[in-house]
Each structure stands twice: as C-alpha cells, then as structure tokens.
Amino acid sequence: MEAVYLLCSIIYTSVTSSFLSLFLLFRSLLRAFTTVSSSSSSSSSSSAPPPLDEEKEEAVAMYEGSVWHERRHPVHHSFRYPVRYVLIDLDRAKPETLLNHFSADQARKITATTGPVFLLTIPTSVGYEQNPLSVYYCYDLEGSIQCLKKCIAEVTNTPWGERVSFIFNPDSDLVAKPLHVSPFMDMLGNWKMKANAPGDHLFLAISVQHPDYGDYFTASLTAKRVSSTSDGAIFFWLMPQKVAVWIYWQALKLWWKNVLFVQHPRYYNPKYREEASMRNRKLQCCQALGKGENSCAQFEGRYSACLDSINSRDRWCVWRDAQWPWS
C-alpha cells in the first residue's frame, strides 16, 4: 500500500511542479519585460538609482553549499550533492513563510531564550516541500551581545513524511535517535550534533553513534552566504524536488549493495517514541555524570536523582504524524 501512495505522490508532484514551473517562467518573463519597460520610461526623468530594499535584505539570507553523507557499515557508501537554503529572521517573517514551522515566539518559549530566532530551511518550490532537516537558531541577549544559546532541529523522514522536533546544544550534543529516518538504519544509537552560528558561512554536522557499529554514519552541511538580490523563486526552483530525487537514488544504490531493509518501528513497536524520549532523558543524565550510556546506571542514587531533576524543556521533543499522502 505504501508503494501505491508513493507512486501517486510522485505522479501528483510531477504534474503539479511542471504546471507551476511553466507559470513561474511566464511570471519571470513578464516581470523582466515590465522592469525593462519601466526602466526605459523613467531613465529620461531621473538618473538616481532606486532605493535598496533594506528590510528584505536583513530579513532573508540565501546560502549555497553541499550536503555530505558517509556510511561505513555494512558497506562503505558516500555521496555529496549541492543544496540551497534560506535563513529567515522569524521576527520579521511574513505569516505565509511560517507554514509548517514554528514562529519566533514559539521557538523562544520552547528554548527559554530571549533573543532573535532564525530558521534555516529549504523553501517550498512550485508546489512541493522536501526538508530532511530544518534548524532554528535561538539567541540569548546578554547585554548588547547576542549569543547563540540553543538550536531546534526539525527532522522529516522520507518517504513517510513524519517529523520530529527537538532541542540540541549547538556547541556539541548527544540526542537519543527519535525518528526512523532511513529504511536502511535501525532505531538504536544516538545523534551527535554540532552547529555554528550562521554568518558568511554555516556548518552543521550529525554523526550516528551506534552501540554495535560505533560511529558508523556521518552527515554534514556546509554552505556560504550568497547575494540575496536575485529572485528567490528562481534561486530555489526545483530544489526540494532535486533533494527528493537524490534521496531515492541513493536508497536505490544501497539496496543494490544488498544493505538490509529495516522495517519502520511503528509496525513492531508502537511505543518507540516513548522509549526514545526516555532514552533521551537517560542520556542527558549520563552526560551530566560524565559516564557512558551503558555504565552510568550503576550510580543508582545519583542517576535516579538526575532523572527526577531533569528539566523537561532541556530534552523537549515532539513528533508530528505523517502528512498527505501518508496520513
């Protein structure tokens, strides 16, 4: 049944994206013609350049870079593909920009921060959204200085369309794996995450620490800021679609290499989300005690006290069920 849903989704997306791409081309040509006509008519009356749109320049930044994946078990498999992201100042964002995302106030409440909030994401292009990972950068105000305090990761799995959002410390953090992100990985292990404060360059790294395979998988995003004077619709044209194609293509390669298919845990363990949440709390205690995940439970008194004292906000994690066509 899932294969049928996937096929219907691919057909629907292809038809919709093709039609909206033609509309985008027509709109771009019309805008270019209008701009040329306007420039010609106004050149004789004024030689002054048009004012810069400073509000837009500060509210949205465009980034261009690449995503790198490397797997070292059970076979070696690595690949890199180009990506384009937008960094949005959520305090200045238009309401339609926040579709399927948190607002700045919501993100501040979740992370208990006081400063600005920026969202790194791949915007919808010609009717299609594909965001394996979006990140909220939440700053604190320390006098007149803004310091990156917390991040919220927003991970969506393909092809199921489920989403998990959780807090992590950008300096370096360990998070118990909360989502079945790949049909070629089980639910065991932790995600080690690290991110910098986005400026002219941004960096984000995630590695999987597995109890049996060790540090066997790494993914990273590196990007640099580019001029945001171009048309965003053109800049991000078919970006989500390309990401989806790359994901399915690499999955096909793993299947061809005889990597075993791992069934979604919802079919054999309906409580996997609750278990992931508890593992996440235990993992925080282990880090606080300076012990490994498998050895910290022996410190029974301190371990139990740590579990009781955990601030639920520090390990806040919420799931969103699948959207169409998987719902």
For residues 302 and 170, membership in a common domain is answered with no
For residues 199 and 289, membership in a common domain is answered with no
For residues 180 and 299, membership in a common domain is answered with no
- pLDDT at position 44 over 50: no
- pLDDT at position 55 over 50: no
**Over residues 137-148, mean pLDDT:** 90
Separation in Å, CA 247 to CA 135, 158, 235, 262, 272: 19, 8, 21, 16, 24
For residues 205 and 295, membership in a common domain is answered with no
- The model's confidence at residue 32, banded by pLDDT at 50, 70 and 90, is low
Widest CA span in the chain: 83
Instruction: Calculate the average pLDDT of the chain.
Output: 83
Q: How many other C-beta atoms are found inside a 10 Å radius of the C-beta of residue 42? A: 12
For residues 195 and 270, membership in a common domain is answered with no
For residue 281, the model assigns a pLDDT of 81
> Does 80 reside within a domain?
yes
Lowest mean pLDDT among 8-12, 40-44, 122-126, 285-289: 40-44
For residues 219 and 301, membership in a common domain is answered with no
What total of structural domains would you count in the chain? 2
For residues 70 and 167, membership in a common domain is answered with yes
For residue 286, the model assigns a pLDDT of 75
Query: Are the CB atoms for 123 and 92 separated by under 8 Å?
Result: no
Query: Are the CB atoms for 176 and 279 separated by under 8 Å?
Result: yes
Residue 289, domain extent: 266-309
- The rounded Cα 199 to chain-centroid distance in angstroms is 18
> Does 10 reside within a domain?
no
pLDDT tens digits, one per residue of 285-303: 777 666 565 555 554 455 5
DSSP 3-state of 147: strand
pLDDT tens digits, one per residue of 67-84: 999 999 999 999 999 999
For residues 128 and 232, membership in a common domain is answered with yes
- pLDDT at position 18 over 50: yes
What distance in Å separates the CA atoms of residue 296 and residue 276, rounded to the nearest whole number? 17
Instruction: Name the most confidently modeled range: 108-122, 218-232, 275-289.
Output: 108-122
Q: How many other C-beta atoms are found inside a 10 Å radius of the C-beta of residue 142? A: 11
